[in-house]
Chains A and B, each alone.
Chain A
């Protein structure tokens, strides 16, 4: 939103999340909501990241640990399946990687500039745990 003049916004510094009405917010997925330019959904914190998570769906068991523990609503789960990462809102904290229970992990951190396809092609193998 551009830095507008004093006469160009609503009184009371009030913000509206949506453009127009939305009947059942909790029953409407993000992609179907009419977010206004004032919702932080419309903004990005991608430039906060130094490292980024890469998702390898081949190993994912859809346990949803990454979904529940993501602080940034950046794990996109639909119909009980993890389908990807919202890279506009991910800050790169790596909690999703830490809580991923698969072996090898289905999520790993890589430098921000890393090529996702290359990293998935070179995904680490299953670790054998020493007893």
Chain B
């Protein structure tokens, strides 16, 4: 190969964006079609610089909108090669049409989503509104809590998505600024080890096989559409999580770093549990330990995979707890939060007597403080003691003004 390898230290100090860019470099992506948007921009800038310095070989297509970025990714992926890009927020929203098209055509594109709020009002900081916007789009969604995760999950995402039994696009989410711009120590893989883990791209139904022409992106109406959508849903429901588990296992063997579809912290004997995503998981873990010193048996459940939703894994993780808080970092705008609803769904029809309450927090980058979590765990324990949910089912935390609570 004509490009140069990069010598990395065993531990590099990288923010989430640079960690993702490094992983993209090491995966030797063939085409990146991208458009800049805060806070994900440094990912594609990083990739462009690697290209300019001959640390990667491929085509970088700097297009004129996020919609075009994903359109270019779809054309490139259908042509038959490794494809990735990155975006956030409004750019993600502009991409939405093409997200459905990418997954419907079963193209294994990797999209790094640096989570950010959605306007109006405009906001550049992290919440999960964009992640939630994509949750019905037919993509696999991984969630990173820190730069190390953002690095590792990129390799894992390629390996899962490109498998011929899977062939579905995947997003790797990380929190805007809190992860994307916060430098931490990241354990690295050397270039060869990283690439060999992901492996060579194996084309399937590729447009550039001129002896086997293919037609992608057909029209299906009432006589075919349902079957195609059903096929995609079936594969998401039955094939993806087992494959992810296998790849997590392989990754652990290679690196010693263990990922789980649902991450459980101090859950073995927990009475009260917080379920959340992103950087909040790490904050909650710290507070849970402090709560245990105060005699409250607190635990944390973090989603590592948002879609396909790990129904049984969540059910299993929460079956023994007495009170659960679902933390949604996206305005549900007239409904319970997504996590509240999904968790309620997993627990309904089971023998659990767990008390479930929902919290909406952190919109537009508002900090989730340890104090918030201390109060929250205390409230959960009060629910346990009272034998019922003592608060409304939905509360907003960290917002100024009169207390907001519903349901």
Instruction: Say whether A11 contacts B231, CB under 8 Å.
Output: yes
Instruction: Say whether A14 contacts B227, CB under 8 Å.
Output: no
Q: Given A6-B230, A6-B234, do A13 and B211 touch, yes or no (CB 8 Å)?
A: no
Shortest Cβ distance from residue B108 to the other chain A in the assembled complex, whole angstroms: 11
Shortest Cβ distance from residue B227 to the other chain A in the assembled complex, whole angstroms: 4
Instruction: Say whether A14 contacts B230, CB under 8 Å.
Output: no
Measured between beta carbons, the chain B residues less than 8 angstroms from A22 are 211-212
Among A14, A20, A21, A23, contact of B215 (Cβ-Cβ < 8 Å): A14
Instruction: Say whether A14 contacts B105, CB under 8 Å.
Output: yes
Of chain B, the residue at the smallest CB distance from A4 is B227
Q: Given A7-B231, A22-B211, do A14 and B224 touch, yes or no (CB 8 Å)?
A: no
Measured between beta carbons, the chain A residues less than 8 angstroms from B215 are 14-17, 38
A23-B213 Cα distance, complex, nearest whole Å? 11
Measured between beta carbons, the chain B residues less than 8 angstroms from A20 are 212
Instruction: Say whether A13 contacts B218, CB under 8 Å.
Output: yes
Q: Is there a chain B Cβ closer than 8 Å to A115's Cβ?
A: no
Measured between beta carbons, the chain B residues less than 8 angstroms from A5 are 227
Measured between beta carbons, the chain B residues less than 8 angstroms from A25 are 210, 213
Measured between beta carbons, the chain A residues less than 8 angstroms from B216 are 12, 14
Measured between beta carbons, the chain A residues less than 8 angstroms from B10 are none
Measured between beta carbons, the chain A residues less than 8 angstroms from B231 are 6-7, 9, 11
Instruction: Say whether B223 contacts A23, CB under 8 Å.
Output: no
A37-B104 Cα distance, complex, nearest whole Å? 22
Q: Is there a chain A Cβ closer than 8 Å to B220's Cβ?
A: yes
Measured between beta carbons, the chain B residues less than 8 angstroms from A10 are 205
Q: Is there a chain A Cβ closer than 8 Å to B325's Cβ?
A: no
Q: Given A6-B231, A21-B212, A22-B211, do A12 and B223 touch, yes or no (CB 8 Å)?
A: no
Q: Is there a chain A Cβ closer than 8 Å to B6's Cβ?
A: no
Q: Is there a chain A Cβ closer than 8 Å to B107's Cβ?
A: yes
Q: Is there a chain B Cβ closer than 8 Å to A41's Cβ?
A: no
Measured between beta carbons, the chain B residues less than 8 angstroms from A18 are 212-213
Q: Is there a chain B Cβ closer than 8 Å to A3's Cβ?
A: yes
Instruction: Say whether A12 contacts B235, CB under 8 Å.
Output: no
Among B105, B167, B223, B230, contact of A3 (Cβ-Cβ < 8 Å): B223
Instruction: Say whether A12 contacts B211, CB under 8 Å.
Output: no
Shortest Cβ distance from residue B226 to the other chain A in the assembled complex, whole angstroms: 8
Shortest Cβ distance from residue A41 to the other chain B in the assembled complex, whole angstroms: 13
Among A9, A12, A15, contact of B104 (Cβ-Cβ < 8 Å): A12
Of chain A, the residue at the smallest CB distance from B205 is A14
Q: Given A3-B224, A5-B227, A7-B231, do A17 and B211 touch, yes or no (CB 8 Å)?
A: no
Q: Which of A3, A14, A23 has the most CB of B within 10 A?
A: A14
Instruction: Say whether B230 contacts A17, CB under 8 Å.
Output: no
Shortest Cβ distance from residue A26 to the other chain B in the assembled complex, whole angstroms: 10
Instruction: Say whether A16 contacts B213, CB under 8 Å.
Output: yes
Measured between beta carbons, the chain A residues less than 8 angstroms from B224 are 3, 13
Instruction: Say whether A6 contacts B214, CB under 8 Å.
Output: no
Of chain B, the residue at the smallest CB distance from A15 is B215
Instruction: Say whether A14 contacts B214, CB under 8 Å.
Output: yes
Among A6, A14, A23, contact of B211 (Cβ-Cβ < 8 Å): A23
Q: Is there a chain A Cβ closer than 8 Å to B106's Cβ?
A: yes
Measured between beta carbons, the chain A residues less than 8 angstroms from B220 are 13
Q: Given A6-B234, A7-B234, do A13 and B212 touch, yes or no (CB 8 Å)?
A: no
Instruction: Say whether A17 contacts B234, CB under 8 Å.
Output: no
Measured between beta carbons, the chain B residues less than 8 angstroms from A15 are 214-215, 218
Of chain B, the residue at the smallest CB distance from A25 is B213
Instruction: Say whether A13 contacts B104, CB under 8 Å.
Output: yes
Shortest Cβ distance from residue A38 to the other chain B in the assembled complex, whole angstroms: 8
Instruction: Say whether B211 contacts A21, CB under 8 Å.
Output: yes
Q: Is there a chain A Cβ closer than 8 Å to B49's Cβ?
A: no
Measured between beta carbons, the chain A residues less than 8 angstroms from B218 are 13-15
Shortest Cβ distance from residue A5 to the other chain B in the assembled complex, whole angstroms: 7
Of chain A, the residue at the smallest CB distance from B234 is A6
A50-B216 Cα distance, complex, nearest whole Å? 33
User: Restricting to B353-400, which residues have a CB under 8 Å from any CB of A?
Assistant: none
Of chain A, the residue at the smallest CB distance from B167 is A11
Mark contacts of B222-253 with chain A using CB atoms, 8 A cut-off: 1 yes-contact digit, 0 otherwise. 01101110111011000000000000000000
User: Which residues from chain B sit less than 8 Å from chain A, CB to CB?
Assistant: 104-107, 167, 205, 210-218, 220, 223-224, 226-228, 230-232, 234-235
Not counting A6-B228, A11-B106, A21-B212, a sample of 12 additional A-B residue pairs whose C-beta atoms are within 8 angstroms of each other reads A5-B227, A7-B231, A9-B227, A10-B205, A12-B107, A12-B216, A13-B220, A13-B228, A14-B106, A14-B205, A18-B213, A38-B215
Report the 9 A-B pairs with minimum CB-CB distance, sorted nearest first: A12-B106, A6-B227, A21-B211, A6-B230, A15-B215, A11-B106, A12-B105, A6-B231, A13-B228
User: Which residues from chain A sit less than 8 Å from chain B, CB to CB?
Assistant: 3-7, 9-18, 20-23, 25, 38
The 10 sampled A-B contact pairs (Cβ below 8 Å) are: A9-B227, A12-B106, A13-B224, A14-B216, A15-B215, A15-B218, A16-B214, A18-B212, A23-B211, A25-B213
